[in-house]
Amino acid sequence: MLDFMEHVQHAFYEASHWNLDNSYGTLNATARALLDFQTPRGLRLQISSLAAPNFATSYTLGNLGVVDGSVSYLYSSLPLQRRLKSSELDLHNAIRGYRQLQELRRPDENWWWEIWHSGKRVDRRDTLLYGRIFLPQSRLEALYLRRLTPTRQLRINAVSDSNLNNGGTILTLLQNDFGKYSTEYMYSTDSALIGLRALYNFGADPRVAPTEPTTAQQVAERMHGRFSAGAELYYGLLNKSGGISTGLRFTTLPAHTGFPYTMTLTMNPLMGNLSSTYAVKAGSNLALCSRFDFNFYSYESELQLGCELWRRRRNTDVEWAVKKLHPDWRQPAAAPDNDVSGILKARVDQHWRIGVLWEGRIKELLFTLGASLDLKKREQIFRAVGIELQYSS
């Protein structure tokens, strides 16, 4: 489940029309959500609040051996309208699962953002500031996010911790999203790492084509899927080492009539790593994913399987009656996903390492219950067990 503050940041992206999915870094976001989810450890409580549309606070308290916690504040110059109360938020927004990509959106024109008042431009760039301090480690995380132009965003992440080399690290990320393609440039103070990422979407250019089909022919020719290719390159100036990878993705768009699915293939030519994922949303409540890794230098291979299952409460007593009365009738729910009793995520790999996550909402509390198991180690099957509780108002 998304942390409250991440959720708020997503809300900011949404409000500022930034497409998170159109980046090489999120090329295999679906597979990672289904296979690489984190299982909680120990007990963790989070109380958060979007006190004002521009201001959010969050407090966490954890108990893993020692009691620790964190305090975080977030300021957004853009008023956030998304419902973030734990009692009424949309679980689909809060839970990382199968990511259904949407049609590419035409980027805003620069002049759309201009606001003039009595002959002077008064508009300001949307900015998000976020800070979080972990106690008692005294570790400080800070984030500065600024939408420079409709196609550009600056993101600065900083961590200050006395345990780190040089006392901390700063990552600067400049992202450009032109719809058709996107580029990212980054610099990290840690060993002076510079990075470059790019993603190119094949098919129609959203900047020239109208975003909405108007004629009947255009409706018929609607894109059912999107093919993307990307690459990334890193080089550490100080340690003189680098990394490179390329990737392909094909994913269905909402216009696709069958099961939505996503396929990715990433390759690291330097290290000889080849990874392919296939994720399918087999129904509104079920998503399945598999990943196969192969290294053609060391001949090591790895297989992982994962699934996501939404369990819904059924009023079996009345459902048959309702069906009989009106087969197409749907009960208007008070809150979205109010009938969801929980979401089960599970993964297993070839070494019989299993991760299980049970997420959901009880009354006004969001809970995450997780465990990671290792069936190969008989004497210590449970590697980690944990529960997370979130409340936000």
Partner 1 sequence: MAFNFNWSPLIADTSRARDMLTTALNKGPKPPIIVDDITVTELNLGSTPPELEILEIGDLAEDRFRGIFKMTYTGDAFLTLKTKVQANPLNTYLSTKPDFASPEPLAASAGLTIPLQITLSDIRLSGFVILVFSKQKGVTLVFRNDPLESLKVSSTFDSIPFIKNYLQKVIEEQLRVLFMEDLPAIIHRLSLRLWSPEFQEMDTETEERLDGSKSTIAPIDPLSSPPQDAVDEFGNPIDASQMATLALDSASEIHASFSQKNMLRLAALSQSQRTLSLFTPGIREAVFRAWASNPDRPDSGSATPALTQSSLSRIQSNFASVKSNASSIASGSTGQDTMSSRPTLSSTYSSAAGLSLGANRARGHQMRKRKKRVVDLRKNRDGAESSGLSTEGNTPLHSTTVSETASSVILEEREREEEPLTSPPRSPAKPNVRFDPKHGRLDISDPSRLRETEKTLSASTDTLLAPAPLLSNPPKPKAKNLANAPVHHLVNAVQHEKPRSSSSRPPLSHSRLRSTQQSSSPLLRSLSFDKVSAITQNQFQNQKNHGGLGSPPYAESTTSSSGGILEQAWMMKMAQDIARKVAEEKGRSRSRSPREGAEKRTQGLWDSGVEELDAPPAYVA
Nearer to partner 1, 24 or 261 (CB): 24
Q: How far is the CB of 265 from partner 1 (least distance, A)?
A: 10
**Distances 164 to 152, 161, 320 between C-alpha atoms, Å:** 31, 6, 61
Q: SS3 letters for 116-158?
A: EECCEECCCCCEEEEEEEEECCCEEEEEEEEEEECCEEEEEEE
Q: How far is the CB of 43 from partner 1 (least distance, A)?
A: 21
Q: Determine the length of the chain.
A: 393
Residue 217: which H helix or E strand, with range? helix 216-220
CB closer to partner 1 out of 13 and 234:
234
Minimum gap (Å) between residue 234 Cβ and partner 1: 6
Please say which residue, 3 or 339, places its beta carbon nearer to partner 1: 3
- As measured in angstroms, the least distance from the Cβ of 177 to partner 1 is 17
Residue 355 identity (one-letter amino acid): G
**Looking at beta carbons only, is 211 or 239 nearer to partner 1?**
239
Task: Give the separation between CA 62 and CA 388, rounded to whole angstroms.
Answer: 9
Query: Quick one: which of 181, 141, 116, 115 has its CA closest to 58?
Result: 141
Instruction: Kindly tell me which of 69 and 336 has the beta carbon lying closer to partner 1.
Output: 69
Residues within the interface to partner 1 (CB under 8 A): 24-25, 27-28, 139, 141, 143, 157-159, 161, 164, 169-171, 173, 186, 188, 190-191, 193, 195, 197, 230, 232-234, 236, 239, 241-245, 247, 266-268, 270-273, 275, 293, 295, 297-298, 300, 379-380
- In angstroms, what is the minimal distance from the CB of 100 to partner 1? 20
Least Å distance, CB 152 to partner 1, is 18
φ and ψ at residue 275, rounded to 5 degrees: -135, 130
**Minimum gap (Å) between residue 230 Cβ and partner 1:** 8
How far lies 277's CA from each of 35, 228, 263, 385, in Å?
Answer: 10, 14, 6, 27
Q: Which CB atom, from 170 or from 204, has the smaller least distance to partner 1?
A: 170
User: Does residue 5 come out as left (phi exceeding 0), alpha (psi in the -120 to 50 range) or beta?
Assistant: alpha
Give the residue carrying structure tokens 């106690």: 135
Burial string for 91-128 (b: 16+ CB within 10 Å, else e) reads bebbbbbbbbbebbebbeeeeebeeeeeeeeeeeebbb
C-beta of 198: minimal distance to partner 1 in Å?
12
Residue placing its CB nearer to partner 1 in the complex, 4 or 310: 4
Measured from the CB atom, the residue of 199 and 389 that comes closer to partner 1 is 199
